[in-house]
């Protein structure tokens, strides 16, 4: 596969050697890493915004998600069923280095999230010379769509999945005797919020994954339609586990976006099959 170089991007179209391919890839990786580090350093220098406003935001009762869910419940006539009462428990640190290393980890995570579109763009520039003219448009669209889906997934995980899951887990009790208390640590909190937001971002890349699996003939829209009912059951179970209350309304808030994502993936798979049939 031919890959990009400065000369090829200027239109000289010379054949590249293997070492030139590696050199071109190295500079794409260097630029991607530089962008991530710039965002990470900026995040590290703004702990008040990153931690007090963003990371610790779900611990405040005035968090936008709680207000929106509560307002939605009232508009739907469900009363206070969807209102989440935050259990304001201080987060504990058990080691002297815990806050510093979590500060570095979250800063790096912010850099990766904000720099993700740039990384995809650099990947696009690397493979562009190997693509035919008719493939340039779809791949460029892929970069844009993949970036948008990832950021939507991050927002979905941060504003919905994590607040619901955290408040459910921190208030969960297996014994009514009061002999077991949940004293959450700062490290556990950071681990949970970073994991759930990243996993959510990756899950929202499902249409992209389905696109490539269909092109490789490893997946078909017929297969996805056949097991649609199974997917719905899995989605409902996941929503029931994530949401803190047993009412169906709050579960649907989580389940409906996940189901729509599955339906979009079926549409993408069908589109790829039809396009392959024409060629």
Q: How confident is the model at residue 6 (pLDDT cuts 50, 70, 90)?
A: very low
Residue 99: its pLDDT value, please? Answer: 95
Secondary structure (H, E, C), the chain: CCCCCHHHHCCCCCCCCHHHHHHHHHHHHHHHHHHHHHHHHHHHCCHHHHHHHHHCHHHCCCCHHHHHHHHHHHHCCCCCCCCCCCCCCCCECCCCCHHHHHHHHHHHHHHHHHHHHHHHHHHHHHHHHHCCHHHHHHHHHHHHHHHHHHHHHHHHHHHHHHHHHHHHHHCCCCCCCCCCCCCCEHHHHHHHHHHHHHHHHHHCCHHHHHHHHHHCCCCCHHHHHHCHHHHHHHHHHHHHHHCCCCCHHHHHHHHHHHHHHHHHHHHHHHHHHHHHHHC
The total domain count for the chain is 1
For residue 5, is it within any domain?
Answer: no
Predicted TM-score (pTM) above 0.85: no
Residue 243: its pLDDT value, please? Answer: 66
pLDDT digits (tens, 9 = 90+) for 128-152: 776 666 656 666 777 788 889 999 9
**Average per-residue pLDDT for the chain:** 84
78-82, 252-256, 259-263, 265-269: range with lowest mean pLDDT? 78-82
For residue 178, is it within any domain?
Answer: no
For residue 11, is it within any domain?
Answer: no
Range of the domain at 241: 18-91+100-171+184-278
Report the distance separating Cα 31 and Cα 121, nearest Å.
Answer: 11
Place of tokens 């392959």: 276
For residue 176, is it within any domain?
Answer: no
Residue 10: its pLDDT value, please? Answer: 44
For residue 218, is it within any domain?
Answer: yes
For residue 214, is it within any domain?
Answer: yes
For residue 145, is it within any domain?
Answer: yes
Q: How confident is the model at residue 45 (pLDDT cuts 50, 70, 90)?
A: very high
């Amino acid at each position: 596969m031919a890959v990009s170089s400065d000369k090829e991007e200027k239109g000289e179209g010379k054949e590249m050697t293997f070492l030139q391919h590696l050199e071109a890839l190295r500079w794409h990786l260097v630029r991607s890493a530089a962008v991530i580090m710039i965002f990470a350093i900026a995040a590290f220098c703004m702990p008040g915004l990153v931690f007090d406003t963003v990371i610790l935001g779900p611990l405040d009762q005035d968090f936008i998600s709680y207000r929106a869910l509560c307002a939605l419940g009232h508009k739907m006539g469900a009363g206070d069923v969807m209102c989440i009462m935050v259990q304001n428990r201080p987060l504990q640190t058990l080691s002297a280095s815990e806050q510093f290393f979590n500060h570095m980890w979250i800063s790096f995570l912010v850099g990766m999230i904000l720099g993700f579109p740039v990384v995809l763009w650099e990947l696009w520039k690397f493979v562009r010379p190997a693509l035919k003219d008719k493939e340039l448009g779809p791949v460029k669209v892929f970069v844009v769509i993949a970036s948008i889906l990832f950021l939507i997934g991050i927002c979905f995980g941060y504003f919905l999945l994590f607040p619901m899951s955290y408040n459910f887990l921190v208030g969960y009790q297996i014994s009514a005797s009061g002999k077991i208390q949940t004293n959450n640590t700062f490290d556990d909190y950071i681990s949970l919020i970073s994991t759930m937001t990243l996993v959510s971002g990756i899950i929202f890349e499902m249409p992209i994954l389905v696109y490539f699996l269909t092109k490789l003939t490893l997946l078909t829209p017929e297969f996805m339609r056949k097991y649609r009912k199974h997917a719905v059951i899995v989605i409902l179970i996941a929503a029931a586990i994530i949401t803190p209350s047993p009412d169906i309304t709050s579960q649907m808030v989580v389940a409906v976006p996940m189901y729509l994502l599955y339906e979009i993936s079926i549409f993408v798979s069908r589109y790829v099959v039809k396009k392959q049939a024409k060629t």
